Amino acid sequence: MTEKNLNSPEITALLGRIAQALERLAPPRPAASDLTIADAFVWQPQGMHLEPVPSVSRVDMRLLKGVDHVRDILLENTRRFAQGLPANNALLWGARGMGKSSLVKAAHASVNLAAPGALLLIEIHREDIESLPALMTLLRDARRRAVIFCDDLSFDHDDTSYKALKAVLDGGIEGRPANVIFYATSNRRHLMPRDMIENERSTAINPSEAVEEKVSLSDRFGLWLGFHNCSQEDYFAMVEGYADHFGLRISKDDLRAGAIEWSATRGARSGRVAWQFIQDLAGRLGQQIDG
């Protein structure tokens, strides 16, 4: 084919269509996000960008009762990270409704209260975990430090998206960016159901090796913070803390009696149950609460 033929309008048009087709097949480029306009964002993998959150739904750190030990550990870890010091990824696991996600958001707020703008909080949804490497790439050159947070993280049978998380946390070539840390909450210590672990053991030629790859995901978290079922005294402390904070007009005896009755109808005691009781109580008292 001569040079004249290569420069013909037909060839030029054909090359243009090929280029457009390849562009459509290529994955979208991460959109440049302005990380200075907010302290919290939600990762949107479809558009490969970070959606700012103007106001984070959170509970004041002082209102989180019965979790003093893990509260102090997570807060100190978060402070060190915000100061540019070494810190660990954290897995908050255990009983439902005991304040795992509330503690993450409260720690972020506490650090930024002491040093405004020191830390970003970026939420990634469980179903978007496979896009975590793209988010890490987007944040790698950012000037701000960021806590990536995934609430209610777990993996079911035949779910392979955990591999993306393993590679990012510890095992990938690039590794975790120095300005990023990962916090997750889960009801499961090993992020997988017990029957899945037992099934792997019973069907594998080498049971220990079959389970090791999936169980080792939790080993990537330097901090394992356990949240246990709520005692009655802790439950009372939660309810009374909320009532005092919001100035609810009720006697201590009536407050405790109502709290016991409420927990009995729910069949459980937890921070979430305490908060739901306070919402119901404030409504019956005709008082507004902010939170």
Q: What is the pLDDT of residues 125-156, one digit of tens each?
A: 999 998 998 999 899 888 899 999 999 888 77
User: What percentage of the chain exceeds 90 in pLDDT?
Assistant: 53
Q: b/e for 125-136, b at 16 or more Cβ within 10 A?
A: eeebbebbebbb
In the chain, the amino acid numbered 230 is: C
pLDDT of residue 168: 75
For the ranges 167-171, 255-259, 270-274, the lowest mean pLDDT is seen at 167-171
Residue 232 CB neighbour total at 10 angstroms: 12
Confidence class for position 197, pLDDT limits 50, 70, 90? very low
For the ranges 31-35, 112-116, 285-289, the lowest mean pLDDT is seen at 31-35
Token pair in block for residue 234 = 């802790």
Residue with more model confidence, 172 or 162 = 162
Superfamily name and number for 40-227: P-loop containing nucleotide triphosphate hydrolases (3.40.50.300)
Residue 207 CB neighbour total at 10 angstroms: 14
pLDDT of residue 208: 55
pLDDT of residue 205: 46
pLDDT of residue 154: 81
Answer whether 268's CB lies under 8 Å from 231's CB: no
Residue with more model confidence, 227 or 209 = 227
Pairing assessment for the beta strands 119-123 and 40-44 based on DSSP bridges? parallel
Answer whether 258's CB lies under 8 Å from 284's CB: no
Token pair in block for residue 74 = 């997570």
User: What is the arithmetic mean of pLDDT over 248-253?
Assistant: 96
Residue with more model confidence, 83 or 166 = 83
For the ranges 74-78, 135-139, 201-205, the lowest mean pLDDT is seen at 201-205
Extents of the domains making up the chain: 40-227, 232-285
Q: Give per-residue pLDDT as tens, 13-36.
A: 777 777 776 666 655 554 557 899
Answer whether 147's CB lies under 8 Å from 120's CB: yes
User: What is the arithmetic mean of pLDDT over 187-203?
Assistant: 59
